[in-house]
């Protein structure tokens, strides 16, 4: 099934393919530089994704020749001072810093240019697939600010403290090969294969048991943010909850019958 959503926001496209939501940054003439409208559209898309049980994975990508050049610098000061980047309860911050948070996985598929706020959007997902030749950068310190969309914190989680400071403090660029080497991205593919590869991985995630995926995410995130002990403490409760589900029973049955599981999320 393929379904294209309304065009309320022309600068962000959404499309459903099976159980996957595609979210496309759509300001290609400006290298998808992020605007207030785009943040609003992304927040709405994330809310829709998280609340729809039929959607099991999402892919964030960019239209045109580049994934994202970062925030539109001509709007950034007004966005911050107006409170447009402040999110309350039930609102989905595309950077994942406050408000509600996605409980389901998001894959970032990047190409051409992945800079600043665009990279921070990608780092708020589970992992990044990059096209060969993609350039990455967190250049905020060269523009008088810092990576306040989560980059200053998440780089170290992805690549280690010293590797993070190497790029956060200099603002220098790195290519896809180096980004892969240090763990910033998890796979590099030819540009022509990027979208199909990201969709393939999203489909594989969508075919897995939804509660298993969500609980895996919850425990992994807790370990990363609060420590392994906190993740251990919540695991027994989640273990008890999940073994009694229909999907757990289907997992056992499909294993015995040597077939893929047909999971419903219950």
pLDDT tens-digit profile of 88-116?
Answer: 999 999 999 999 999 999 999 999 999 99
79: domain CATH number is 3.90.226.10
238: domain CATH number is 1.10.12
Are 83 and 169 found together in one domain?
A: yes
Catalytic residues: 120, 140
Mean pLDDT of 62-82: 92
> pLDDT per residue over 114-138, tens digit each?
999 999 999 999 999 999 999 999 9
Are 153 and 228 found together in one domain?
A: no
Between CA 64 and CA 29 the distance in angstroms is 8
> What is the total count of domains within the chain?
2
Q: Which domain holds residue 245?
A: 210-256
Q: Do the Cβ atoms of 45 and 16 come closer than 8 Å?
A: no
Residue 191 included in any domain: yes
pLDDT at 1: 40
Residue 224 included in any domain: yes
Are 229 and 202 found together in one domain?
A: no
Nearest to 202 by CA among 17, 45, 41: 17
Indicate the residue among 184, 207, 230 that finishes a domain: 207
Determine how β-strand 57-62 pairs with β-strand 113-115.
unpaired
Are 226 and 200 found together in one domain?
A: no
Residue 261 included in any domain: no
Are 167 and 232 found together in one domain?
A: no
Between CA 21 and CA 105 the distance in angstroms is 11
Are 54 and 186 found together in one domain?
A: yes
Residue 41 included in any domain: yes
Q: What confidence category does residue 84 fall into, taking pLDDT thresholds of 50, 70 and 90? A: confident
Indicate the residue among 169, 187, 207 that finishes a domain: 207
Are 72 and 197 found together in one domain?
A: yes
Between CA 241 and CA 257 the distance in angstroms is 24
> pLDDT per residue over 147-179, tens digit each?
999 999 999 999 999 999 999 999 999 999 999
Are 231 and 144 found together in one domain?
A: no
Are 147 and 241 found together in one domain?
A: no
Are 139 and 109 found together in one domain?
A: yes
Sheet strands side by side (includes 173-175)? 113-115, 135-137, 173-175
Are 162 and 224 found together in one domain?
A: no
How far CA 79 is from CA of 31, 35, 42, 143, 226, in Å, comes to 19, 8, 15, 16, 30
Are 164 and 43 found together in one domain?
A: yes
Percentage of residues in the chain with pLDDT exceeding 70?
A: 97
> pLDDT per residue over 47-57, tens digit each?
999 999 999 99
For the cut 70, the answer to whether the pLDDT of residue 250 exceeds it is yes
């Amino acid at each position: 099934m393929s379904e294209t959503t309304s065009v309320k926001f022309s600068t962000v496209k959404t499309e459903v393919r099976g159980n996957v939501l595609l979210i496309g940054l759509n300001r290609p003439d400006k290298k998808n530089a992020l605007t207030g409208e785009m943040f609003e559209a992304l927040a709405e898309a994330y809310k829709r994704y998280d609340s729809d049980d039929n959607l099991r994975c999402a892919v964030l990508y960019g239209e045109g020749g580049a994934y994202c050049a970062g925030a539109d610098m001509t709007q950034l000061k007004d966005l911050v001072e107006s409170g447009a980047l402040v999110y309350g309860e039930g609102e989905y911050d595309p950077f994942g810093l406050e408000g509600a948070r996605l409980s389901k996985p998001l894959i970032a598929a990047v190409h051409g240019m992945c800079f600043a706020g665009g990279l921070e959007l990608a780092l708020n997902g589970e992992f990044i697939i990059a096209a060969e030749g993609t350039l990455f950068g967190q250049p905020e310190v060269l523009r008088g600010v810092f990576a306040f969309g989560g980059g200053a914190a998440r780089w170290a989680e992805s690549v280690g403290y010293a590797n993070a400071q190497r790029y956060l403090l200099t603002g220098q660029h790195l290519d896809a090969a180096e980004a892969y080497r240090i763990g910033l991205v998890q796979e590099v593919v030819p540009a022509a294969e990027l979208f199909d590869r990201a969709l393939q991985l999203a489909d594989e995630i969508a075919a897995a048991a939804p509660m298993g995926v969500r609980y895996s995410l919850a425990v992994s995130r807790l370990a990363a943010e609060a420590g392994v002990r906190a993740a251990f403490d919540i695991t027994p409760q989640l273990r008890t909850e999940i073994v009694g589900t229909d999907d757990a029973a289907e997992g056992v049955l499909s294993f015995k019958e040597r077939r893929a599981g047909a999971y419903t999320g219950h």
